[in-house]
Amino acid sequence: MIYADNAATTKMSGAAMNAMLNCMEETWGNPSSLYGLGQRAKEALEDARERIAACIGASPKEITFTSGGSEADNQAICSAAALGARNRKRHIISTTFEHHAVLHTLKKLEGEGFEVELLPVGELGTVTARQVAEAVREDTALVTIMYANNEIGSILPIAEIGAVCRKQGVPFHTDAVQAAGHLPIDVKAQNIDLLSLSAHKFHGPKGIGVLCARQGIPLSSLIEGGAQERGKRAGTENVPAIVGMAAALEEACARLEENTAKVSALRDRLIAGLSQIPHAALNGDPVNRLPGNVNFCFEGIEGESLLLLLDDQGICASSGSACTSGSLDPSHVLLSIGRPHEVAHGSLRLSLCEENTEVEVDTILKAVPEIVGYLRNMSPLWKDKVSGKKKFIL
């Protein structure tokens, strides 16, 4: 099998698994219990908090554990909105191509009287700090803009956007789910007030994440109950997953440069090869993109069929995001960068990690053109294009 869907999820690392196993055997108590076993679990929890904070330039007090990226996004946005509402600020700035964890939370807030302004992301899938500066108003409660896009991999100028927000006194949240462990993060240097990350995107376990909130930004709780996480997130902490996440993030950060060099070379080989396919186009920024992200549109095919045929050859890939696959709507991300519906339906995302090899890339490079050719030959629409009855788009 060739796994090329690391933006959907990653395989857990040995370090993360060992840390979790060790925790389940040795420190499996409830961190709130007063006896030794509980206190050892508490120590493991706090040790993980410190190590995670160190990886992103935060203080341990700023780290709240959540069930993953979606919960962290929800809590960050709802907290900033509640804070804004207390000061009569009800304007929120974001972008058209955020993850649904952000967009759907914003939709909910719109229903509660907030005004949401989604900045256009242009052909390359980015926004500038200037666009943000021009959009900020007296009543802006929050700017929430992702660090890197999960579908097309474009990397946004987060530090510059953060600087604009800091200057204007507006809280800035970034969904760094696709960036953590793959791009450098320093919440202080990048002027980030609220940051979400999720362990399963950097070889950690699923169902665990972090909301990092700068001291002074009050969090509202989404889950009421016990006083865990300083009263900001009730529920017994998932200590094994938290410990696994710390091990995975530390490893990813320690190997960031080495992994980036290796993975981006594989990505560039894949992009160069797929670019040879006629009537195909790379989606996203060719230069400023996540090391492992490759995303193409192939005119005249359905992405779903391409995925099924790749699966037959043991290649795991994705069309649109994992969350939207299964729905027939074209990806909102591809529409937001200006791809027409017809072309957006023919998309393929391959997302690599440091465990992929050149041989795997070459296998993909053999499989994709063959399958695209096969699907096009079966398509009446394609025949119309070839005969000149209909125009090519790409």
Residues that bind ligand PLP (CB under 6 A): 68-70, 73, 99, 101, 146, 150, 175, 177-178, 198, 209, 322
Which one from 165, 297, 316, 323 is the annotated catalytic residue?
323
Of the two residues 179 and 372, which places its CB atom closer to ligand PLP in the complex?
179
Of the two residues 209 and 300, which places its CB atom closer to ligand PLP in the complex?
209
Strand pairing of 63-66 and 91-95? unpaired
Distance CA 245, CA 293 (A): 22
Q: Least distance in Å: CB of 131 to ligand PLP?
A: 20
Compute the C-alpha angle 126/53/80, nearest 5°.
55
**Are 217 and 197 contacting, i.e. CB atoms less than 8 angstroms apart?**
no
Of the two residues 320 and 346, which places its CB atom closer to ligand PLP in the complex?
320
Q: Is 323 a catalytic residue?
A: yes
Of the two residues 102 and 306, which places its CB atom closer to ligand PLP in the complex?
102
Burial class (CB in 10 A: 0-12, 13-18, 19+), 14: exposed
Q: Least distance in Å: CB of 317 to ligand PLP?
A: 15
Q: Least distance in Å: CB of 206 to ligand PLP?
A: 7
Listed in sequence order, the residues at least 6 apart from 139 whose beta carbon sits closer than 8 Å to its beta carbon are 84, 88, 89, 90, 91
Q: Least distance in Å: CB of 209 to ligand PLP?
A: 5
DSSP string across 221-247: PSS-SS-TGGGTS-S---HHHHHHHHH
Strand pairing of 140-144 and 63-66? unpaired
Return the residue nearest ligand PLP (CB atom).
Answer: 69
Distance CA 148, CA 392 (A): 31
Distance CA 203, CA 11 (A): 5
Of the two residues 126 and 198, which places its CB atom closer to ligand PLP in the complex?
198
Q: Least distance in Å: CB of 299 to ligand PLP?
A: 26
Active site residues: 323
